[in-house]
Structure 1
């Protein structure tokens, strides 16, 4: 009887990532906003008008409005495109998840230092510096451990069943020996009874048995 195969445990679900910008996402948005503002400030009216000298000299007010509209539209377009990239690439969620991982690592490090009495914790080796054998064994380890547990459980079940069968066979052998002993005792009693009877009596009994058998046949 084969033992049921064990199912692998379900993977631990990661906590939901908030969509509100965290420290890194907020810093990225501020960095981009500052960079765009600095870039657009370099596009001053004097620089813009120098590219259009004739309209600037004949219609300076219109050129100023055109410059203002151009800068505002360029700033709005850059901001909308950047926000669209953030949504398409899920940048905010990824950076928030990174913040969570860093904070979790910081807490683990602090807990490890407290467990060692405040001593510095040796950081683990970077995965890219490990040999290939260590990397694939680290991935196969949980599977091999699960298979080992399953096989050990099946082996223990088979050993228990074999022990039960051995007990049953031993009990049957003892019962056979008891029956054989009783049969030998009965045969010995019959032999002793035959030896105790005289030969004449044995002949008479034999004749009576034959006669009785003949009567029954007829």
Structure 2
């Protein structure tokens, strides 16, 4: 592969710093993880956004979370003959092989993917309407969330509501997977919906009894 290049110097330096400190001080733990495999208690589906740092928010150690990241933390509906299998494959592995006890879908503020969906659905991003747009076709998953927020006139307020809708749409789609439904209805696994305000550090959890997100 002639297009690949050596790792940037700053990343090499950071790696050596980690190897000499964090790894060296916890070598036994890393070797135990390598030997015994992973046994995470929860799967977290979050956004690719570089500002979303799930392990830092929850103070998680290596091996604690099985994390899957994609644009706007979306889960496609169960569709074995479809094309969107990356997230579905991670989900199947987490539930059927790792036997996680929880699946957490975490959205966040100022999500670029959600903003792109709003722009596309409102006719302001024709490039995302193109069939060749990977982002556009992925964000089609959130069109129900756009439609549900039609009564909100202010674009910024509507986009913020769509960020929470991205979580709800994903939770709904999770239940279309037979193995997820079986685990949830068998009470061996629970689903959770979260929304994180990056700037304020706040975390909201969806409360089905109230039909809304409430601050944790």
TM bracket, shorter-chain basis: under 0.3
TM-score of the two chains, using structure 1 as the length reference: 0.19
Q: Greater Rg, structure 1 or structure 2?
A: 1
When you count helix as a share of all residues, which structure comes out higher? Answer: 1
Task: Answer 1 or 2: higher relative contact order, Cα 8 Å, separation at least 6.
Answer: 1
